[in-house]
Structures are given as structure tokens and as C-alpha cells.
Amino acid sequence: MEIIVQRTILDSPDDERFKSVIDKHADWIIDQGLLPTKTKLEKKDKVATYLLKNILYYRFHAEITQFVNGLDKVGLLHKEILHAPEAFSSLFVHQAVHLKFDTFRLLYEVNFSPEGSNNRRLEKDTVYFLEVFLIECDGKESDIALADVLMFWTGASSVPPMGFDKKLEVDFVTADRKLPVAHTCGMVLELVCGLADPDLFKEDMVKAIKWSGGFHLC
């Protein structure tokens, strides 16, 4: 919204339009430390520049200063970063990592029934189907990417910089045929046991992901 206001001020062709924009957003402009009564059409460039600087810099200035001071208390680290910013970028800038099956598999755990129970074999078959599907998503054999699966499962299309706060989970239900369900609040993927082969499982997963619009809300 802030950028739109700034752009609208710049595009104001006359006093009437300029005053209309200022009056409409007067409360927000005051919050930025600017008095609407002091704004004039002939100074619209300066007004827009001030608002943009406030959006991008001034409102975070205290936090930035505190962060810089903290870095410099550790061997003048901020000054070292300024000398070689590229060497330090990976510490401060999130680098999105392309998901691969091997790394995706480390993100989740499976909640199996006790060993020897009647459901255990069906659950193992279902996990096998899941992992066949994930391997296909890792390659070019599916129009669903691992990022789509992660979005459906967690609501996030990539792993957060600090990782998830817990393992993703796989749960099972034994019910009549229905699509997989993702509970993004708990990051739980609920699968139906008893499907005959990986193709049926893949069909249901693709439907669930595509029909959900990206991820299923709790």
C-alpha cells in the first residue's frame, strides 16, 4: 500500500488530485512524520522521496543501528563485512536450495503402527508409494515438483533458513478411498492405506495437490 501511495502522489497532475490523495491517506502520512498541511504539489517529488525513504530505511533505522553495533562488538565484524560482503552473504542472506529427494526424505518421519500389527504392512506399502512419487517429482516424470509437495504439506514452498521447528509427519487412515489430506498447522500428511499400486497413489496425490490450490488449510 505504501508504495502505491508514493506512486499516486508522483502521478498527481494538479492540485486537486494531489490534495485528494493527501487527504485520503492523511493518517498514514502523519504516522510517517510528515504533516499533510505542509505538503504542496510543487514539492511532490520531495514528499514522495521522503515517504519512500521512510518505508525502506527510516522506520528500521533503530533496529539496523542496534544490529550494526552488536556486530562491531564482536571483533568489529560489521567493518569486516563491509570489506568483503560477498564472503559473508551466505550468513545473512537466505539462499534457496533446490529440493532433492535425498534432502526431502530427511524432513519427515513416519508414524507407523507397532511392529507386527495388521496395519504395519499396508503402511510400509503406502510409504513405498509415497517415496516412488517423491522420486518422480525430483525428476522430470511428473508435472508436480517437490516444492509443490512441500507447499501442500506445510504451506511453505521452500525450507526456512533455520529449518522447520519439527519434523514433518506422515500419518495413516484406513478408510474408503479418499484423497490425501495435509494439516499444515502440524505439518502432517495423512495418507490412505490399501491402494493397489504406485500409479493409483500418484493419481490421488496429484489430484490432492492440484485441487487444493497449493496447500490445505487446517
Tell me the HSE value of 16 on the side-chain side, using a 13 A CA sphere: 0
Domain identity same for 194 and 176: yes
Note whether 69 and 133 are same-domain residues.
no
Distance (Å, whole) CA 71 – CA 180: 47
Q: Answer yes or no: do 70 and 167 share one domain.
A: no
Task: For residues 113 and 177, state if they share a domain.
Answer: yes
Is 45 among the domain residues?
A: yes
- The answer to whether residue 218 is domain-embedded is no
Domain count, the chain: 3
Is residue 168 domain-shared with residue 136, that is, in the same domain?
yes
Indicate if 76 and 23 belong to the same structural domain: no
Q: What is the pLDDT of residue 217?
A: 43
Q: Are residues 197 and 125 in the same domain?
A: yes
Among candidate residues 70, 92, 114, the one where a domain is terminated: 92
Query: What pLDDT, on the 0 to 100 scale, is given for residue 1?
Result: 60
126 with 185, same domain: the answer is yes
106, part of any domain = yes
Q: Quickly tell me which residue has 508409494 as its cell.
A: 129
DSSP string, 14-78: SHHHHHHHHHHTHHHHHHTT--GGG--GGGHHHHHHHHHHHHHTGGGHHHHHHHHHHHHTTTTHH
Cα distance between the two ends of the chain = 29
Q: Do 6 and 81 sit in the same domain of this protein? A: no
Would 158 be classed as within a structural domain?
yes
The answer as to whether 37 is a domain residue is yes
105 and 82 part of one domain: no
* In a domain? residue 148: yes
Residue 216, in any domain of the structure? no
pLDDT in tens, the chain (218 residues): 667 777 888 888 888 888 888 888 888 888 888 888 878 888 888 888 888 888 888 888 888 899 889 988 888 888 888 888 888 887 777 766 678 999 999 999 999 999 888 889 999 999 999 999 999 999 877 889 999 999 999 999 888 877 899 999 999 987 776 899 999 999 999 999 888 889 999 999 999 999 876 444 44
Can you give the pLDDT at residue 109?
97
| 112 within domain boundaries | yes
Same-domain pairing of 196 and 151: yes
* CATH code, domain carrying 176: 3.30.2410.10
Shared-domain flag, residues 201 and 171 = yes
Domain with 194, as residue range(s), is 101-211
